[in-house]
Amino acid sequence: MKNIVSFFALAAVLVAPLAAQKLVIKGSDTLGAKLVPMLAENYRAMKPSVSFEIAAEGSSTGIAAVIDSTAQIGMSSRRAKPTEMSAGLAKGVSLKPTIVAYDGIAILVNADNPVTKLSKRQVQQIFTGDVTDWSAVGGQPGPISIYTRNTASGTYSDFKDLAMRRRDYASSSQKMAGNEQIASEVAGNINGIGYVGLAYAETPGTAVVSIDGVVPSKAAVQDKSYPYARPTFYYTNGYPEGEAANFVDYTLSDEGQKVVEQIGFVPVR
C-alpha cells in the first residue's frame, strides 16, 4: 500500500509541469489587436497547455496591470513614465522594458483627399487646431475632422511628443479606442485625418501621406528618416520568469520576428 501511495505521489509531481498555464497580457492596442494574438496563436500550437488572456485597451492599462500584478506582461507602444516607474517601485515592482518591434506612426487621410504630402509643421498645426480647413494645406475647401487615440493610448502620448511638441490636441478632435477605429472613420469621411501604426496603414478607403517627403516604410523606420518612428515594448516586473520569459523569448526569436514583419511592424533585428 505504501508503495502505491508513493507511486501516485511521484506521478503527480511528474505531471504537474504539464498542467495548464495562463499568461495574462494587457495593454497597447497597437500590439494587442493583431500582433500579440498572432504570436499567442502560434505559441499555443507549440505548447497547447498554455492559455492566454489578452486585453488591448491602451499602453497605460498594460503598465498599470504589471504594477498591480494582474498581468505578467504589459504591452506598450511608449516608454513607461517616471511616475509609473515610481508607482511600481512603491509596490516592489521594477518595470523592465523589452523592445519587441519598431513601428512608425502613419498619417492617414481619406483616399479621395487630394492631399498626398504634409510637412511636420503642417501636421502639428492640424492636430493642435491651428489649421482647421484643408484649403490651408493644399486641399479642397472643407473642415478638417481629426481622429486621435484615447488618453490611455501610448500612441496618443508618443504622437504628442513626436509631432506636436507636447502641445494639446485640438478641442474638436475625436478620440477613438484603437487603430482600426481611426482608420475606419477616416475611410468614411472625405475630410478625415488620423494616425495609426504601420500594421494598420493599408486600410481600404484611406491613403498614407508623406511627411517632409518621407513615407513611413520599414526602411524609413529602420534608419529613422521617418520622423514618427518609435520602438514598442513588453513590460515585466524585472526579468520575466517561467512561461512569461518563454513567450518573450519566442517573440524575439527568428520565428517570432517573422510574425512581427508579417503583421506590418519592423523587426528588432
- Note whether residue 202 is domain-resident: yes
At 15, list the grid cell: 505531471
Distance CA 116, CA 114 (A): 6
Helix (H) or strand (E) holding 104, with range, is strand 95-104
Domain count, the chain: 2
The reply to whether 44 and 32 lie within a common domain is yes
Q: Is residue 68 part of a domain?
A: yes
Along the 269 residues of the chain, how does pLDDT read in single tens digits?
Answer: 444 444 434 444 444 444 579 999 999 999 999 999 999 999 999 999 999 999 999 999 999 999 999 999 999 999 999 999 999 999 999 999 999 999 999 999 999 999 999 999 999 999 999 999 999 999 999 999 999 999 999 999 999 999 999 999 999 999 999 999 999 999 999 999 999 999 999 999 999 999 999 999 999 999 999 999 999 999 999 999 999 999 999 999 999 999 999 999 999 97
Output the pTM of the full model: 0.89
Q: What is the DSSP letter of 269?
A: -
Residues 31 and 67 in one domain: yes
Give the pLDDT score at 244. Answer: 98
Would 47 be classed as within a structural domain? Answer: yes
Locus of grid cell 502505491:
4
Q: Quick check: 198 and 266 in contact, CB under 8 A?
A: yes
Nearest residue to 29 via CA among 50, 8, 60, 7: 60
- Judge residue 101's burial from the number of C-beta atoms within 10 Å of its C-beta, 0-12 exposed, 13-18 middle, 19 or more buried: buried
Q: What is the pLDDT of residue 19?
A: 55
Same domain, 112 and 223: yes
95: CATH: 3.40.190.10
Residue range(s) defining the domain that contains residue 93: 2-102+232-263
In a domain, 269, yes or no: no
